[in-house]
Amino acid sequence: MATSSPLPNSRTEDDGSVILRVLSYNIRSMRDDTAALARVVAACDPDLVLIQEAPRFFRWRKKLARLAAASGRMVLAGGATAAGPALLCSPRATVERTEDVLLPLTPGLHRRGFSTAVVRFAGTRLGVLSCHLSLQEDERHTQGGMLLDRLAGLGTEHVIAGGDLNERPGGRTFRLLADGLQDCWATAPWGGEYTSTPADPHQRIDAIFATKGIEVLGCGVPHGQPGVTEADLRAATDHLPVLAALRVPAA
């Protein structure tokens, strides 16, 4: 486990830059303890939540809206329209645009997609993307390239991406993303490293990435974060979340 000193709170700096908290979380379609899930999200106090496995079927919009309300966030984009990835945000965000993207379907495999947005926080402007990549290696690598292309197409200088990669850092898709972006855990490790599984954390398959102009102040599983209990982390879903504090320069 890396340093456990508190992550900075969200704020606007004197130079116009903004410190944001970003949370990436696979919530397993909210099939587990939704009260524990909402408590974890609320205690992390994120400006942006990059969700994977959001509800996709019956009343999926209402379920996602309930999670957002219970954790003090708002639904930004995604869900069934992105085949699972979704974005939540705090009231601090000003939304410029959103787009949900369905990726090509490989017969016999799950449909995948990206949930994307361009948002502003005070004087900053940035692109955001949530993803859940394939279990199949070749398809996953192709999706990694599509992810980088989609980020470039957002038209923003600063970009944050994250999600469940279904791959460890040594894998070629993880390396592809880390070559073009900062792997926030590797840049400034904080809290815990391993995200799967809550009962036996032994692998890092969930990550947050940022363009190199963004300063990473800390990133990791929020063990010890005030209000985040180990019981809630185990009960909420089958992944552990990743929380990052990032300083984004003024646009």
Q: In whole numbers, what is the pLDDT of the chain averaged over residues?
A: 97
Residue 4 has pLDDT above 70, yes or no: no
Distances (CA, A) of 154 to 18, 99, 149: 20, 10, 9
Mean pLDDT of 2-20: 90
3.60.10.10, 3.30.1490.190, 3.20.20.70, 3.30.70.20: CATH of 11-248: 3.60.10.10
Alpha-carbon distance of 3 to 172, in angstroms, equals 28
Angle at 154 between CA 152 and CA 156, to 5 degrees: 85
Q: What is the pLDDT of residues 124-163, one digit of tens each?
A: 999 999 999 999 999 999 999 999 999 999 999 999 999 9
- pLDDT, residue 245, reads 98
Taking only the tens place, the pLDDT of each residue in 49-64 is 999 999 999 999 999 9
Helix, strand and coil percent figures for the chain, each rounded to 5: 25, 35, 40
Decide if 124 contacts 94 (C-beta within 8 A): no
30-85 tens-digit pLDDT = 999 999 999 999 999 999 999 999 999 999 999 999 999 999 999 999 999 999 99
Supply the pLDDT for residue 2: 67
Give the pLDDT of residue 209: 99
Query: Domain residue spans in the chain?
Result: 11-248
Task: Return the percentage of the chain with pLDDT > 70, whole number.
Answer: 98
